[in-house]
Structure 1
Amino acid sequence: MMDTLIAVGSVGVLGVLLGVIIGVVAKAFAVEVDERIEQVEEMLPGANCGGCGFAGCADFAKGVVGERATPAQCPVCSTEDVLKISEYLGIAAEEKEKKVALVRCSGDIPNTVRSLYNGVRDCRSAVLVAGGAKGCDYGCLGFGSCAEACPFGAIEMRDGLAIVHKDLCVGCENCVAACPKSLIVMVPAAATTHVYCNSPEKGAVKRKVCKTACIACRKCVKASGEEDYMEIDGFLIRSNYENPPGPDLVEAAECPTTALRVDAEHVKGAYGGEA
């Protein structure tokens, strides 16, 4: 009996001793956690889209508190969210310009020359295997890799063309990384008028494969006058997003291929190239 009591007592003493040692070690090596990180994370939208360049909202919150990032770097945060976080941390709130994705292509199935394609229905795979079914080497492949990459459902695939609904786009840039053709760029959400073409080929070459390609006729450049709404990039015209054109330029320019479009009308499918 005595041996049993001694054994139990020894175990108890050992347990207490180990508990004290563990407590001392835990206290000595404890890592202090800044409570502001948790507060900032709660203020974030919680999308975990990675558009900020960090591995999720928790990591981004650490970056903001550690002054390695600013609240405005979160593409999902509204202006109010940025202001709220900045006020909480006692830092100056940066002015945030919302940007949305733009797919620089208008070559849907009805307006492009196509060939038979029986490959994998994935844009990256199509580029590696056969280049896809469309005649234009610079246009949207239409297999929807960008739509699958969008966590907000902002991209619709319609007639073999990716269409961005900018009211749903938060600017996370996941689609930019997903497109093997580098077709997708981020533009100011306030801009409404764009050239939906990405081909640097000469106009005659483009028209053989796409009815809605930009042929660099420069009618839009002339119509903008001294306002410099448009930029000339070889055999391709682009909108100048430092001084973006308005919807009235589309009517004034009378683009012969409708490559110059108002985004809202493009989404509606209101345009089409000449036969």
Structure 2
Amino acid sequence: MNVVLITIISLGVLGSLAAIILYFVAQKFKVFEDPRIDQVEEVLPAANCGGCGYPGCRAFAEAMVKSDDISDLNCPVGGADTMSAAAAILGKEVAAADPMVAVVRCNGTCENRPRITEYDGATSCTIATSLYGGDTGCSNGCLGLGECVDACAFNAMYMDEETGLPVIIEDNCVSCGACVDACPKNIIELRKKGPKSRRIFVSCVNTDKGAAAKKACSVACIACKKCQKICPFDAITVENNLAYIDYNKCKLCRKCVAECPTNAIHMINFPPPKPKVEKPVAESAE
């Protein structure tokens, strides 16, 4: 009986000593967490999409609290209202970021880009890209397997069965960039929404020389540089056989759209052009 009692007392004393030691060790190595992290996280949208550049809203909240200057941080899902609320908690100022939206830089529809092979394999753009260049003469264009659509968590994309290309639902797009990362062909880009949601961009990523690009797709950029020459704002550059429009410089004048011989430059949400009214020819007096 005495042996059992001594054992119980010994274990109790050892347990108490271990608990005391663990308590002091925990206090010694305790990591302080700023309570503002929880407050900032509460105002974030909890999308955990990674569009901010961090693995989740918690990590983004930590970055905001630790940063002296949060002007380079942005939550694309929450937008200006969310960033303002988070900044108010921290007593910091944040500049309003221009809203962005995804655009598909490929117009290789079935009509514009005829199929020359038939793919019968895994329905994954990444896998298909590693196996072959594509089922058309353009090895740079969209494969049409919808990996970008699967990556979108906001129902902002769908595959158009008629064209075989992804379509962006602008009102649902939060510019998280998931579709951009998912596309192995790099045909999806985040661009500024622009005033009245109007945008102009080159809907082509084909870097082949003009003749080869035109043969593969009737609306491909042929790097003729006509758009670059007519742009009054130096917003267009032509490199590696491909034109690109800088959305920070573009003033949406649309001169390049009319100048492009292959209709590779697209304009979004512009009103239709007014029909030209021909002036009546004055009859000469006899």
TM-score when normalising by structure 1: 0.82
Unaligned runs of 5+ residues in structure 1 are 266-275
- Cα root mean square deviation, aligned: 2.9
For residues 68 and 105 of structure 1, the distance between their equivalents in structure 2, rounded to whole angstroms, comes to 41
Partner of 1:206: 213
For residues 153 and 10 of structure 1, the distance between their equivalents in structure 2, rounded to whole angstroms, comes to 63
For 1:146-165, list aligned pairs within 5 A. 146-158=148-160, 159-165=163-169
Kept after mapping to 1: 8 A contact 2:70/2:93: no
For residues 41 and 79 of structure 1, the distance between their equivalents in structure 2, rounded to whole angstroms, comes to 15
1:240 to 234, 238, 246: 246
Partner of 2:77: 76
Percent identity of paired positions between Structure 1 and Structure 2: 40
- Find the residue that maps to 1:109 and give its secondary structure: coil
Partner of 2:275: none
One-letter amino acid of the counterpart of residue 177, structure 1: D
Deviation at 1:90, TM superposition (A): 1.3
- Find the residue that maps to 1:27 and give its secondary structure: helix
For residues 70 and 231 of structure 1, the distance between their equivalents in structure 2, rounded to whole angstroms, comes to 32
- Find the residue that maps to 2:101 and give its secondary structure: strand
Deviation at 1:11, TM superposition (A): 4.8
**1:184-212, Cα deviation, whole Å (9 max, x unpaired):** 22211115222211112333322322222
For residues 198 and 11 of structure 1, the distance between their equivalents in structure 2, rounded to whole angstroms, comes to 73
Deviates more, 1:46-55 or 1:16-25: 16-25
For residues 256 and 29 of structure 2, the distance between their equivalents in structure 1, rounded to whole angstroms, comes to 69
Kept after mapping to 1: 8 A contact 2:257/2:265: no
Partner of 1:271: none
For residues 83 and 124 of structure 1, the distance between their equivalents in structure 2, rounded to whole angstroms, comes to 38
Kept after mapping to 2: 8 A contact 1:112/1:211: yes
For 1:88-127, list aligned pairs within 5 A. 88-114=89-115, 115-127=117-129
Deviation at 1:96, TM superposition (A): 0.9
Per the alignment, do residues 173 and 2 of structure 1 end up closer, same or farther by CA in structure 2, a change over 3 Å counting?
A: same
For residues 93 and 256 of structure 2, the distance between their equivalents in structure 1, rounded to whole angstroms, comes to 42
Count of paired positions: 263
Deviation at 1:74, TM superposition (A): 2.1
For residues 57 and 252 of structure 1, the distance between their equivalents in structure 2, rounded to whole angstroms, comes to 40
For residues 69 and 145 of structure 2, the distance between their equivalents in structure 1, rounded to whole angstroms, comes to 35
Partner of 2:40: 40
- Find the residue that maps to 2:158 and give its secondary structure: strand
Deviation at 1:257, TM superposition (A): 3.7
Deviates more, 1:202-211 or 1:51-60: 202-211
For 1:22-37, list aligned pairs within 5 A. 22-37=22-37
Per the alignment, do residues 108 and 27 of structure 1 end up closer, same or farther by CA in structure 2, a change over 3 Å counting?
A: same
Per the alignment, do residues 187 and 33 of structure 1 end up closer, same or farther by CA in structure 2, a change over 3 Å counting?
A: same
For residues 157 and 79 of structure 1, the distance between their equivalents in structure 2, rounded to whole angstroms, comes to 30
- Find the residue that maps to 1:110 and give its secondary structure: coil
For residues 168 and 4 of structure 1, the distance between their equivalents in structure 2, rounded to whole angstroms, comes to 70
Partner of 2:132: 130
Kept after mapping to 1: 8 A contact 2:74/2:83: no
TM-score when normalising by structure 2: 0.79
Deviation at 1:259, TM superposition (A): 2.3
1:144 to 124, 143, 146: 146
- Find the residue that maps to 1:95 and give its secondary structure: coil
Deviation at 1:35, TM superposition (A): 0.3
Q: Which has the higher helix share?
A: 1
Kept after mapping to 2: 8 A contact 1:173/1:186: yes
